[in-house]
Amino acid sequence: MSIRYTDRLADIGPSASVGSVADSYDNAMAEALNGTFKAELIEMQGPWKDVDQVEQAVFQRVTWYNEERLHSALGYVPPVECERDFWQSQERIPQSA
């Protein structure tokens, strides 16, 4: 999994922090998210019948996480709403030439 993660990062181009081959770059935020994801979805909702079932569950979890989950640091609004509100506020700010 970590090799695929490393390959995916290379495909999309972000800079990695410290780390070595086949790890998750020792990134605390990514590790915390990975741990929560594994504990709350993979371990608690298994056993899984096949890869398709896992993929569907992952898709549903990511959708919930980004679009429905109430986030305390964002004033208890979902991340997608917070981002939408941010960009709408940027449109209303007059830009100087």
User: What digits encode the pLDDT tens for the residues 18-73?
Assistant: 556 555 555 777 778 888 888 888 888 878 899 999 899 989 998 998 899 998 99
Domain ranges of the chain: 1-44, 46-97
Q: What mean pLDDT do residues 85-97 have? A: 79
Beta-carbon neighbour count of residue 53 at 10 Å?
13
pLDDT at residue 1 tops 90 = no
CA dihedral for 39, 13, 6, 55, sign (positive or negative): positive
Q: In whole angstroms, how far apart are CA 42 and each of 26, 31, 68, 74?
A: 21, 15, 19, 26
Residue 16 is predicted with a pLDDT of 58
pLDDT attached to residue 74: 92
